[in-house]
Amino acid sequence: MLNSDLENKDPIDYPKRNVWIKTFGCQMNYHDTERVLSHLRKLNFLPTDDKNDADLLLFNTCAVRALANMKFYSQLGELKVLKKQKKSNIVIGVLGCISQIEGQELLKKYKHLDFALGTDMVDQIPEVLYRIYSGESKIVLDSFDKTSAYSIETKITHQSPQAFINIMKGCNNFCTYCIVPYTRGREKSRLIKEVVADIQRLVEHNGIAEVTLLGQNVNSFGKENQETFPELLARVNQIAGLRLIRYTTSHPKDLSDELINAHGTLSKLALHLHLPVQSGSNTVLARMNRKYTREAYLDLLARLRDKQKGIVISSDIIVGFPGETDEEYEDTIDLLKQARFDFIFSFKFSKRPGTQAYLMEDHPDDQIKSKRLKKLQDLQLAIQNEIRQEMVGKTMQLLVDGVGKIEGKKKWKGRSSCNRIVHFDGPPEQSVPLLYKWVTVKITSSTALSAQGEFISIC
Ligand code: 5AD
Ligand code: SF4
């Protein structure tokens, strides 16, 4: 039976069941989870937060660092007891990056696991469940999609006006520390016309007003189709009803002049760019196979800031890469001072079997890595605190995306175009619903991580 046949069946044909899903890792995985939930909804599954209530339990896994791996293995182990208690009446499956590279072994090792789906097989979930509920067990689908084209339709299961749009998959870069090229395969892009039609549909029918275009390296989008990322951005910028365009992740080596110009000209492009630098040392960057220097990176920042006034830059940094000397580490500290990032994700190097860095010599010991990470994070918080004081007294537009508690008091929470979080009290008549509205607020105070504001108006 084809997926489409399964999905087109009336949900009433399927018994009501509950699905519990735990997602680890990056936005790509969260996006895949949404896809899976959308397929499952058509098969009469409703999401639940309670494992004990679930008929189907899924893990969407991440292999990028050891910590996420360990959390997954321990939670998977715990489900053995649950399956025993429920007399095997539940189905357990693994998706995502670990499933892609270790699916076969996982099924051999964990007898209570029913299936493993690789990263290219997410859309096969209806077929796999059909087979499982027909009595099959131990299914592994871990091949990569061999077709040359990449074509999908974005699935939305949430109420918010924000949507993640996968524009490409895979990665060809082989940074020496990174497992992603092995778990997600080679780069493949969707066609511009398909992405544009997809977003138009979401704007018209799902109330989407903000999109985040997703790919491991969006700057090499479209290469195989003789299309480019700046061309895509220009087309998406023209979609009526769409307000804000974000994208992630960019590789500095591929950030073209056209893309820098786009930041100066496209009105809907967010005032934020995530541009992972990984290290401030040229010798470490070479060992990481990043193919740019710190000077080239800092030059990109200067040109971006020149083109789009007010753009803020965030980054990823790894400390304790194999062979990282004190001097090399200090180069990263120095780069942090010069780059003045708005925030960073920082990590201790994690040894991933199968990557080139795994085999390198002189791995710094964990104590050194922890010390280096702490010093880096303390410096970044101080820089961040300083940068964010500059917001105080200014007005900002936010998309309200929830309610947070500040010192025990409920406040609205919103995110700015430059990706900063602001908490604020609503208008005096608290009954005015602000969720998912764009509002103007005046910033009254700020810390390194979030700001407080006063509501001015709905905009
Ligand atoms: N160890 C530590 N951090 C890593 N990242 C990727 N692989 C590793 C690894 N082996 C980080 C990089 C990347 C982010 C998503 O995860 O900084 O940009
Ligand atoms: Fe990993 Fe480098 Fe590809 Fe990013 S660009 S996914 S860090 S190999």
**Ligand 1 centroid distance, CA of 34 (Å):** 23
Q: Any idea what the CATH number is for the domain that residue 222 is in?
A: 3.80.30.20
Rounded to the nearest angstrom, the distance between the alpha carbon of 216 and the centre of ligand 2 is: 6
Whether residue 300 sits in one domain with residue 189? yes
Q: How far is the CA of 416 from the centre of ligand 2 (A)?
A: 27
Q: Do residues 209 and 298 both lie within one domain? A: yes
Same-domain pairing of 207 and 251: yes
Q: Which domain holds residue 127?
A: 3-141
The pLDDT of residue 450 is above 60: yes
Regarding whether 427 and 296 lie in a shared domain, the answer is: no
Q: Which ligand is nearest to the CA of 353?
A: 1
pLDDT in tens, 263-295: 999 999 999 999 999 999 999 999 999 999 999
Number of structural domains, the chain? 3
231 pLDDT higher than 80 = yes
* Whether residue 316 is found in the same domain as residue 173: yes
Q: Is residue 17 included in any domain, yes or no?
A: yes
- Amino acid 67: pLDDT: 87
Q: How confident is the prediction for the chain on average, in pLDDT?
A: 92
Clarify whether residues 40 and 117 are in a common domain: yes
**Which of 362, 388, 414 lies at the terminal end of a domain, its last residue?**
388
Distance from residue 131's CA to the centre of ligand 1 (Å): 36
Q: Which residue's CA is minimally distant from atom 2 of ligand 1?
A: 349
pLDDT band at 1 (very low <50, low <70, confident <90, very high): very low
- The pLDDT value given to residue 312: 96
* Cross-strand partners of 46: 18
Residue having the nearest C-alpha atom to atom 13 of ligand 1: 316
Q: Is the pTM of this model over 0.85?
A: yes
CATH number at residue 103: 3.40.50.12160
Q: Where are the beta strands (DSSP E) in 139-239?
A: 139-141, 162-166, 168-169, 188-189, 210-214
Buried b (16+ CB within 10 A) or exposed e, 205-218: eeebbbbbbbbbbb
CATH code at 417? Answer: 2.40.50.140
Pair 101, 224 in one domain = no
Q: Is 175 within a domain? A: yes
Residue 274 belongs to a domain: yes
Please choose from 27, 174, 180 the residue to mutate so as to test ligand 2's pocket, defined by most ligand atoms within 8 A of CB: 180
203 and 66 within one domain: no
Beta-carbon contacts of residue 314 (< 8 Å; ≥ 6 apart):
272, 273, 274, 275, 341, 342, 343, 344, 345, 419
Q: In terms of domains, do 169 and 278 share one?
A: yes
Q: Which of 168, 174, 216 gets mutated to test ligand 2 (max ligand atoms within 8 A of its CB)?
A: 216
φ/ψ (deg, to 5) at 175: -60, 140
The pLDDT of residue 430 is 60
- Tens-digit pLDDT profile for residues 172-230: 999 999 999 999 999 999 999 999 999 999 999 999 999 999 999 999 999 999 999 99
